[in-house]
Each structure stands twice: as structure tokens, then as C-alpha cells.
Structure 1
Amino acid sequence: MMRGGIILLLLACMALPGCRALLTEGTADAAGIAGAGIAGAVTDDATLGAAIGLGVRSVADAGLGYVQRKVHAAAQQRIATAAGALKPGDVGVWSIAHDIPIEDDERGQVTVARDFGGPGFACREIVFSVDGGTAAKPSRAFYTATVCRDGETWRWATAEPATERWGALQ
């Protein structure tokens, strides 16, 4: 019953933009508490109970990391697709409305700085913005990346996203 309540709380939090920080920071802790509750119902051994609690916490943390990587990959693909339709020097727009609301929807502009590669190997260096803030106080951040063509599809090719943009999460 306790586990079901925590899951419902986490799902309800995902629907609220202000709860994003609570979701990302509190998921592992909530899972640890839930795991401890499960362990308490299963065993009286403190060591085994702690191991179950830590295991549940680790699984929840890994699951949240997986979902965040999927959200970031979707944003990266939108940027790569927008950049693929441009010629060097042209400016286009990109945006994404996330299916899983653990991150704000994003938008910005993208430009192709240069094309490079060889026969059968086409890549582009791009500069893109992420626009945010409010109408009264807009904000804009700029980043660079590399996208490459895979058949007819342009894909994100930068090994590591900017840590300022994504934090320590890869």
C-alpha cells in the first residue's frame, strides 16, 4: 500500500512543472523509503533490509536516468532534423513538446556553421540556441554540436552534451 502511494505521488508530480526538481532529486530517496518498507514487510534482518532498500533506490535512480536520457535524445534529434534541412549560413527553428513532462518543453534556433566529411560521410557543425524565460525576461543560451547524416536522416553525433545544459547526466 505504501509503495502504491509513493508511485501515485511520483506520477502526480510528473504532471506539474514545479515538481520537476522534486522528481529528479526525490526519486531515489522515495524509492529507498519504499524499499525499506518492502524490506520491513519481508524480513527482520537489518542488513538484508538495508540491501533491499539500497537496491530499490539504485533501480529507481537508474530508471529516472534512463528516462532523462530518452528526453534529451528526443530534443537532440529535433535539433539534428532541423539542422539537416538547412544550408550553411541558413537559420532554422526547432522545438519539442516532451511526451514525458519531467523537463520543460524547449525551442530555439539552429544554424549550420559548416559542412564536412567525405564520400558517403556527411557531417555538419551546428550552433543552436535554447530559448526560455518569460516574455518580460527572455533568456537564450547557445551551444555547438555535430550532426551527421545516416542515410536520409540527420542524427546527433556529439559524444557529450554540454554539462551546463544537461548537468552531469550524459
Structure 2
Amino acid sequence: MWRLSASLLLCCLGLISGCTTSSIGSAVGAVSGVASSAATANPVVGYAVGVTMQAATDATIKYVFREWTNEQQNLMAHLAGELPIGETQSWQITRVIPLGNEQGQLQVVREIINPLVVCREILFTVEDKEQTMPYLAAICKRGEEWKWASTEPSVQRWSGLH
């Protein structure tokens, strides 16, 4: 009887934890925790499995979104690197899964040349069904490629700007 009560308590705690983390990770953690607890008749094992599954799911989702952002930034940096200053060009990212598809316009505002690196300041928009949001960013030439230089989690370290 206490095992059933402990399993129900763990299930409720797993569902409540969804209020502070991603709901997908919480759901996966709760379901796998309850299933493991029931299969092993040990609520501690169920809790450990649930927490582990939630953490793994959340980390995977964050990784995918970082990679998608990096892909979008690389596309925009490539387009802006070839664009003459002052001209505008459309950009669009379309994914196999229709999640995170975005589009807009980008324009090179100015070029910043210094002894270390050549950079460009770009103005771009992200068009939504309801509104268009403008953003300002920087791209810099690294070797033969233009790379996103604005500080964001998806940008890799510049390794001494070479």
C-alpha cells in the first residue's frame, strides 16, 4: 500500500515540477518515473528515472533549438556578407518540421573595418503573422566566411578572431 502511495506522490511531484521547466521534459519524466516505479516496485528508482529522463529531454530540446538558431544565423550572415551596403534582401528558413520557420528582410547598415577583423552591422526583421520585429546585429568575416558576431548562446567562441 505504501508503494502505491509513494508512486502517486512521485507522479504528483513530477506533474507539479512542470510549472518551472519545459512541459515536454516534465511529462516525459513523470510518465517514465511512474512506469519505472510500477515496474520495479521501488519509488526511489522511479524518481531517479523520472528526473533523469526530464533532464535528458530538456537538454535535447535546448540543443535542437540552439542548433536551429545557429543555422538561421549562419544563413543570415552568409546573405548579408554578399549584400552591398544599403541594399535589402529577403531571408527565409524552412524546416522539415514546421516549427521555427521564420522569414524577414535584412539590410547591411554599415561596414566596420579595423586591423583585426572586418565586420558589418545588419538590420533584420522577423516577420510574424501579427507583427514584424526589427533587430540589429553584427557579423564578422572569419577566414572566407561571414559569421554571426552578436553575443548569443548559439555563437561559437571566436578563438582569437582568426
| TM-score bin, normalised by smaller chain | 0.7 to 0.9
Q: Quickly say closer, same or farther: Cα 1:54–1:65, change in 2 above 3 A.
A: same
Pick the aligned partner of 1:83 from 80, 85, 88.
Answer: 80
CA contact (8 A) 1:71 1:100 kept: no
**2:99 equivalent among 102, 105, 111:** 102
**Does the 8 Å contact 1:82/1:93 carry over to 2?**
no
TM-superposed deviation, 1:154:
1.0
**Contact 2:37 / 2:47 at 8 angstroms: preserved in 1?**
no
Gapped regions of structure 2 (runs ≥ 5): 1-20, 154-162
Instruction: Specify every segment of 5 or more residues in structure 1 that has no aligned partner in the other structure, as ranges.
Output: 1-23, 162-170
Offset at 1:42?
4.9
TM-score (norm 2): 0.73
Q: Which residue of 2 aligns with 1:4?
A: none
Report the alpha carbon displacement of residue 38 of structure 1 after superposing the two structures with TM.
Answer: 4.3
- Per-residue CA deviations over 1:42-95 (Å, capped at 9, x if unaligned) read 532222321210110010010011111111111111211111111221211111
Give the distance between the partners of 1:96 and 1:154, measured in 2 at CA.
Answer: 18
- Is the deviation greater in 70-79 or in 113-122? 113-122
TM (norm. structure 1) is: 0.69
Which one has a bigger Cα radius of gyration?
2
What is the aligned-residue identity percentage? 34
What secondary structure does 2:137 align onto?
strand
The corresponding residue for 1:55 is 52
| Deviation digits for residues 8-61 of structure 1 (CA, Å, limit 9, x no counterpart) | xxxxxxxxxxxxxxxx94311221123214422553222232121011001001
C-alpha RMSD over aligned residues: 2.1
Report the 3-state secondary structure (helix = DSSP H, G, I; strand = E; otherwise coil) of the residue aligned with 1:92: strand
